[in-house]
Amino acid sequence: MAQQALVIVESPTKAKTLTKFLGRNYSVLASGGHIMDLPKSKLGVDVEHDFTPQYTTIRGKGPTLKELRAAARRAKQVYLAPDPDREGEAIAWHLTQQLGNGSVDYKRLDFYEITRKAVEKALAEPRTINMNMVNAQQARRVMDRLVGYQVSPLLWRTIRYGLSAGRVQSVALRVIVEREREIAAFVPVEYWSILGLLEKLSDPAAQFEAKLAKIAGQPPDLKTELDAQRVVDALKAGQPVVHSVTRQEKRRSPKPPFKTSTLQQDSYQQLRFSSKKTMMIAQELYEGVDVPGEGTVGLISYMRTDSTRLAAEAVEEARGFIRTQYGEQYLPADPVIYDKKSATTQDAHEAIRPTAVARTPASLRSALSQPQLRLYTLIWNRFVACQMMPAVYDVTTVDVAVGDMILRATGSIPKFDGFRKVYASAEDGREEGEGTTLPDVQEGERLALRKITPKQHFTQPPPRFTEATLIKALEAAGIGRPSTYATIVTTILTRDYVVKDKGALKATDLGMTVTDLLVQNFPDIFEVEFTARMESDLDKIETGEDEWVKVVRDFYSPFSADLDRAAEKAGELRSAVQQESEVECEACGRKMVKKFGRNGPFLACPGYPECRNTKPLGGEQEAIQTDEVCPKCGSPMVVKTGRFGRFLACTAYPECKQTASFKVGVGCPEDGCKGQLVEKRTRRAKMFYGCDRYPECKFALWQRPVPTPCRACSAPFMVYKETKAAGPHLFCAKCKAVAAIENESNDSEMPEAMESGG
Distance CA 745, CA 758 (A): 24
Measuring CA to CA, which residue among 37, 48, 58 is closest to residue 148? 37
Measuring CA to CA, which residue among 181, 739, 748, 182 is closest to residue 494? 739
What 3-state class would DSSP assign to 102?
coil
How many Cβ atoms are within 10 Å of 184's Cβ, its own excluded?
Answer: 8
What 3-state class would DSSP assign to 273?
coil
Measuring CA to CA, which residue among 413, 463, 418 is closest to residue 434? 413
Check if 302 is active-site: yes
Distance CA 387, CA 277 (A): 28
Residue type, 661: S
Q: In angstroms, what CA-CA distances link 369 with 258, 291, 722?
A: 21, 12, 34
Measuring CA to CA, which residue among 258, 342, 267 is closest to residue 304? 258
φ, ψ (nearest 5 deg) of residue 318: -65, -40
Which of 26, 286, 302, 497 is catalytic? The answer is 302
Q: In angstroms, what CA-CA distances link 29 with 11, 16, 442?
A: 8, 9, 75
Please measure the distance between the N-terminal and C-terminal CA atoms of the chain and give it in whole angstroms: 39
Strands (DSSP E) found in 10-59: 26-30, 36-37, 45-46, 52-53, 56-57
Measuring CA to CA, which residue among 454, 453, 450, 449 is closest to residue 241? 449
Task: Show the CA angle centred on residue 85, arms to residues 345 and 94, nearest 5°.
Answer: 145
> Active-site positions?
302
